[in-house]
């Protein structure tokens, strides 16, 4: 009887997890109203393209200067949304559009609830490859985007902040600047919680067994310890003083100091929401503009 009982519990849990995973991919069918916060000197478009890594069409939003200099290519900032969000979030909930006026292309890809990682349990969900290969290639082929590390930055909030920091440490050849605004840097190594068993199972479906290969290859703390300070993108980190993520961000910032990784870390007022995140955009982009075109970009 014990075996049958355990089997039934396992079946129920698996069914619930499957429902959550399905809901993650369906969430874009129930989007809030699309109300971009644009300025008069920018233009916006939505792009659909085929991702070879995911084997399906994906979308991204682009904001560009309204007047493009003839024959000139511009640097690109890739903006990653958080969990439960979508590719419209940055344009709808922040004032980031005005920074396109400075001669930047802003690219906001759809990332579902992927943590921008090639999932351990779902070989078809290669979200890191989708960003680092498919998206960058499509942007540089179809937009006036300047190629090369010196002309690329990556910024994210929450889940997207994790993705930005992780990809900067894992692929330092691609970006000269990376920012994590309230980044969920502890997710790969987050311990099991009896209060959140389904969240634990979902994270494990992405990052694989505890302390396994996929977890190690995507853990910002592990990646920091093997990073070359001379090649790592400049990192900009912020976290609100009312956030549960603050201890993990303090820990990562201390490790960056220990390993002499160029960075800045700010503890700011507020919680885990777009009100607080939007307040950090100006400081983030001031640092971004200062570090694009870094001499070590090659």
pLDDT of residue 31: 66
Among 4-8, 23-27, 177-181, 280-284, name the one with the lowest average pLDDT. Answer: 4-8
pLDDT at 295: 43
**Residue 57: per-residue pLDDT:** 98
pLDDT value at residue 20:
47
β-partners of residue 231 are none
Residue 30: the pLDDT is 64
Give Cα separations from 95 to 46, 104, 276 (angstroms): 18, 14, 12
The answer to whether residue 7 scores a pLDDT higher than 80 is no
pLDDT bucket at 196, cuts 50 / 70 / 90:
confident
CATH numbers and ranges of domains, the chain: 31-297 (3.40.50.1820)
Q: Is 60 exceeded by the pLDDT of residue 283?
A: yes
The count of other CB atoms within 10 Å of the CB of residue 18 is: 10
The percentage of the chain sitting over the pLDDT mark of 70, rounded to a whole number, equals 88
Using CA atoms of 29, 35, 40, 43 in order, give the dihedral in degrees to the nearest 10.
0
For residue 83, which phi and psi values (nearest 5 degrees)? -60, 140
Mean pLDDT of 41-51: 97
Reduced to 3 states, what is the DSSP secondary structure of residue 258?
Answer: helix
Average pLDDT over all residues of the chain: 90
Least confident interval from 105-109, 172-176, 188-192: 188-192
């Amino acid at each position: 009887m014990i075996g049958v009982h355990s089997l039934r519990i396992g079946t129920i849990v698996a069914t619930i997890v499957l429902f959550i995973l399905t809901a993650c991919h369906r969430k874009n069918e129930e989007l809030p109203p699309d109300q971009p916060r644009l300025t008069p000197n920018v233009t916006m478009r939505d792009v659909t393209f085929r991702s070879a890594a995911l084997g399906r069409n994906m979308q991204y939003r682009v904001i560009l200067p309204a007047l493009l200099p003839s024959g000139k290519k511009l640097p690109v900032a890739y903006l990653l949304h958080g969990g439960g969000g979508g590719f419209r979030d940055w344009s709808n909930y922040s004032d980031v559009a005005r920074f396109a006026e400075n001669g930047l292309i802003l690219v906001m890809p759809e990332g579902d609830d992927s943590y921008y990682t090639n999932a351990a349990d779902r070989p078809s969900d290669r979200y890191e490859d989708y960003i680092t290969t498919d998206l960058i290639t499509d942007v540089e082929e179809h937009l006036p985007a300047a190629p090369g590390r010196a002309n690329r930055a990556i910024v994210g909030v929450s889940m997207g902040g994790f993705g930005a920091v992780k990809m900067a440490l894992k692929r330092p050849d691609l970006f000269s600047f990376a920012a994590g605004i309230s980044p969920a840097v502890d997710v790969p190594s987050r311990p099991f919680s009896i209060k959140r068993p389904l969240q634990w199972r979902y994270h494990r479906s992405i990052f694989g067994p505890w302390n396994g290969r996929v977890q190690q290859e995507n853990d910002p703390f592990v990646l920091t310890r093997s990073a070359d300070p001379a090649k790592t993108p400049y990192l900009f980190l912020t976290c609100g003083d009312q956030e549960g993520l603050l201890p993990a961000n303090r820990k990562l910032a201390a490790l960056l100091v220990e390993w002499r990784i160029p960075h800045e870390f700010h503890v700011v007022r507020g919680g885990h929401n777009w009100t607080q995140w939007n307040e950090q955009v100006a400081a983030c982009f001031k640092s971004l503009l200062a570090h694009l075109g870094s001499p070590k970009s090659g």
